Homo-oligomer: A and B are copies of this chain.
């Protein structure tokens, strides 16, 4: 007989994952679990709490009790690539109708740059730089939202002051390409992290859902050296979104491939 919170949680976890308990189904109450497993109510509560922190169950409040969370059957896939319309470049065709979250504003500030972003720009952490932060999303689907912070390299601002203005992001890439007379190279780096309480609140994240983080760098060549002119830090729910990229064929993998000669295998 299960006696510890961990063991009780494991039993319930199995019942959920086997499908015996379906999304929306009620879990036994703390008191019922305490009775069944002959433990204290606190112990039963700890078991439920473990499942809640894993994102498997949620508390519906009052009499409704604790239920198995409805989890989105499929994530919204965001195919990544740069496109443009008559207003300029944009990324992600399927979120073009997204707008600023109601009650929020784009904040343009000059502030010390955090260490992780500084690494991409190749400048000292703490250097004051121009940052543009906003929260936007689908007006029809409140949970579909993201946070976007844009950080500009001081050299880029010095060269093209207009990009530090409060205008939308759309135009800055055109201004940069005009000034440096070359195409921007964009790359995206993806990782994940557990949200800070602030981020969880802003993105309406329930407990147990990580943050998917897409960091896009915009690079131009100056005197033969790469200069990262902007870092775009996008955070979204990892439960609701995924990002997709085509995989490029590099070097010897370019099509049509040249079959290796027999020599390779004997050398």
Which residues on A are within 8 Å of B, measured CB to CB? 53-55, 74-75, 77, 80-86, 89, 91, 116, 119, 177, 183, 185-194, 208-212, 216, 238-239, 241-253, 255-257, 260, 264-265
Q: Once the chains bind, are B189 and A242 in contact (CB under 8 Å)?
A: yes
- Cβ of A74: which chain B residues have Cβ within 8 Å of it? 116, 119
Asked whether, in the complex, the Cβ of A77 is within 8 Å of the Cβ of B189, the reply is: yes
A193 cross-chain contacts in B, Cβ below 8 A: 210, 238-239
Number of copies: 2
A70 to B201, CA, bound (A): 26
Q: What residues of B have a CB within 8 angstroms of the CB of A252 in the complex? A: 83-85
CB-based closest 7 A-B pairs? A192-B192, A210-B210, A86-B264, A191-B242, A192-B238, A186-B247, A245-B245
CA distance A241 to B192 in the complex (A): 9
Chain B residue, CB-CB nearest to A75: B191
- Across-interface contacts of A75 in B (CB, < 8 A): 191
Interface pairs (23), CB distance under 8 Å: A74-B116, A81-B247, A81-B249, A81-B250, A81-B253, A82-B248, A83-B249, A83-B252, A86-B260, A86-B264, A183-B255, A185-B246, A187-B244, A187-B245, A187-B246, A187-B247, A188-B247, A191-B241, A191-B242, A193-B210, A193-B238, A194-B208, A216-B247
